[in-house]
Structure 1
């Protein structure tokens, strides 16, 4: 090996690390934001003179804004550029974190955390996955990069309660938002090393009506779920309205394609069976992760009377589970098909829920939560990366903006459903039975994910490389 080649070989991991660091940190802080508030429920409700339901609304609206705007956010990257959207999203998110830290009441907290941070996340997360797909061109390096990013996301969601609990108990719940703002500043500084491999296309059509219809339909559906504990008629009305708006959205994008215009989403995204199945597994995984986090944290604080740090420490078991399986993800991916890893992950998580319900019902000991949370964490760490890789690798680079937005929207919709459904069951009747009912509902979601995973095609250790993986020429505008 020549000196130049050796130097290049040494430089490659460093360059890869410099590119991955801000992308992984971005996924970490957004996942952290989705779960760390779960351990602040009592502190925030007392400080802002609100209720547990009020804090649940703030958490759910944050997840909902992300899910509703992720598809338009992914599409915007084609027109304005991936790095530009990433940086704008970081700035908007940072403003939201500062507003939340200074919030005098629930309204400002919702504005900062739920709206600004939600919009910022919808702008910055799609570029994370698009840039990863474009910068890591072979399936092995892409799987490794997604492994790092998904591990960061899983750890952020699982460790959110612990880190949030430590900050809340040691300083204040407001300091947790200051922590987010500081991490955002660090990511902006690190992002100087990222280069956008494709130029923005200012003339690219942006489907405004499609964006409004998709977002409006998702908002109505989730609002219907949140209304379940108050008014059955209102719930059914909102759900029906949401489904009608989403049907209108599907009709609209088909009519746009027939007219030769570019819709918000191409219907071709839904013609790939493997990708469709992968999207369903992603939805189920995040429903399980965020639903478990909210249910267990709320039960520990409101029913058991634990403070933020005690609640966070109990969640260490889930964090360790995600870390352990994420660190082994690359070795597992070389030996086992992606389908097998996803199936194994769901199976572990379902067993974990069963253990969580059985042990908690049998003893008041807080450490009875640990075995079940550990198993759920192990399962999630095993399957998060392969599900993303299955979906992203199924499409060429000219569709990465669309599929990244759709993929993240589906995942965040799962997070929203998990918090809304389990939270509605739990908050409506804060008892041991309600806790078991909420966890059992999450188990049904995980079971649906398991059944879906069994229908994924069999393949080699890294899964079958899609025929359309190499870069394609840009689609006709």
Structure 2
């Protein structure tokens, strides 16, 4: 069965349809939950493994580096060799890497295992949505994506509770160890109930040189930003810049480029991706340092610190679909301009979070305002990315936008602590963390404001006219409340080289 045929297409209301949905939700949810709970666990990981702040940054960034570099390639592998096959390989890979994370005796081993997790995530993540698009009947695809997204939203809501409880209870290693039985269920269900599909019009060849150069470019720059005082930092920065230039040259000449540069001939596509870099870089910095601030400075437990972010998930689930409809009704300029500015206001409210902070008077107002801005922003942003290119390029355009969001998060996690004056073991000293947190939140608010002003200056108000011929679920349905990446287009048919995030 190919992704284009409908004779044997699965219907959503059947038993097999529910099994397919279960496999995709558990698989993508497994990867997404790790992103939710690792930030909550960072202070405990640092304490148990005697890790410096730079090492904790690499605990986050090793995963993001391999994921951002390989996620488009992972989608292409699924199109060529079978989406179910590559998805199952990715799930098994992710589980093995998770087991190594759980058993890691040193921070170095944990960082290496997290990089391997990112490889698994790059294989499994594109396949989860691509399989839904390929195997379900056209009449049920939007409903399947909506169900997948809603169940993913429930997982996002549970994540902070689960992560905080595990860190407070049996320990942070269990946030990785739990992936193993979940992965076993996913592999069994997928092997038995998910049909194999491939893309009948996939391009020949893979852009392996592009993927390698992207990884080296991001890795070199990330190392220089994270370990700026290291002797090798200047050389790493130079290598990163050279590889970035080489990446552009390779992509310009490649027969099947991982990043088709002609997409950026659209001024709108370029500007919206610049907005994405600003806002998702800020989001990654906020969620990294907020959980540290709450635990080290304000005295919250890991569970309470995780639960503190739940209002953002609730607001996203409740209002993102409405924001998507609003963007189509009035145009994207106002949501893309106002949303980041509202987020910036929420971040400025976080300056009140300090020693002895009250959840109800200090934390809740800040995260509520931040969540409201995100709910207004995210769906129209993705819809605008898709509207900026021809419909046949919707899949790769969405993938590029996701890669941009992950790269922004990678660089923000690397650079922000140093810019805020936090390094070494200072993350264990409340006064040092408090000072750095205030500076970091001002930087993040500035990034968000820059994104909003850029959108106001460059985004037209008439680019989201209704497209009855496109079978697309509500934009918000594909986001699943993952606050580190934008949603994706569930309605494309040909190009699945894209991914939702973990």
Identify if the C-alpha distance between structure 1 residues 76 and 326 changes in structure 2 by more than 3 Å, giving closer, same or farther: same
State the match for 2:459 in structure 1.
Answer: 456
State the match for 1:286 in structure 2.
Answer: 280
Identify if the C-alpha distance between structure 1 residues 318 and 405 changes in structure 2 by more than 3 Å, giving closer, same or farther: closer
State the match for 2:304 in structure 1.
Answer: 310
Q: Which moved more, 1:237-246 or 1:334-343?
A: 334-343
State the match for 1:365 in structure 2.
Answer: 358
* Deviation sequence 1:34-65 (CA, Å, 0-9, x none): 23112222322233343444222211211122
Structure 2 distance, partners of 1:351, 1:107, is: 38
Structure 2 distance, partners of 1:329, 1:26, is: 28
C-alpha deviation, 1:81, in angstroms: 2.9
Any unmatched runs of 5+ in structure 2? 1-9, 427-431, 472-490, 497-502
Structure 2 distance, partners of 1:151, 1:346, is: 24
Structure 1 distance, partners of 2:338, 2:136, is: 27
Give the secondary structure class of the aligned counterpart of 1:104. coil
Summarize the alignment of residues 11-30 of structure 1 with structure 2, pairs less than 5 Å apart. 12=12, 20-30=21-31
Normalised by the size of structure 2, how large is the TM-score? Answer: 0.77
How many residue pairs were aligned? 456
Q: Which moved more, 1:462-471 or 1:15-24?
A: 462-471
State the match for 2:163 in structure 1.
Answer: 164
State the match for 2:313 in structure 1.
Answer: 319
Quote the RMSD (CA, aligned, Å).
Answer: 3.9
State the match for 1:214 in structure 2.
Answer: 214
C-alpha deviation, 1:163, in angstroms: 2.3
- Find out whether 1:427 has 2:422 as its counterpart: yes
Identify if the C-alpha distance between structure 1 residues 222 and 241 changes in structure 2 by more than 3 Å, giving closer, same or farther: same
Confirm or deny: 8 A CA contact 2:25 2:148 kept in the other structure.
Answer: yes
C-alpha deviation, 1:196, in angstroms: 5.6
Structure 1 distance, partners of 2:357, 2:174, is: 31
Normalised by the size of structure 1, how large is the TM-score? Answer: 0.80
Q: Which moved more, 1:446-455 or 1:116-125?
A: 446-455
Summarize the alignment of residues 54-453 of structure 1 with structure 2, pairs less than 5 Å apart. 54-112=55-113, 114-131=114-131, 160-191=159-190, 193-195=193-195, 198-199=198-199, 204-228=204-228, 230=229, 235=233, 237-256=235-254, 261-326=255-320, 328=322, 332=326, 335=329, 337-357=331-351, 359-360=352-353, 364-367=357-360, 368-392=362-386, 402-403=396-397, 405-424=399-418, 425=420, 427-428=422-423, 430-453=432-455
State the match for 2:486 in structure 1.
Answer: none
Q: Which moved more, 1:65-74 or 1:293-302?
A: 65-74
* Deviation sequence 1:105-154 (CA, Å, 0-9, x none): 22332233x12211011112223454566678999975x77666666667
C-alpha deviation, 1:362, in angstroms: 9.4
Any unmatched runs of 5+ in structure 1? 1-9
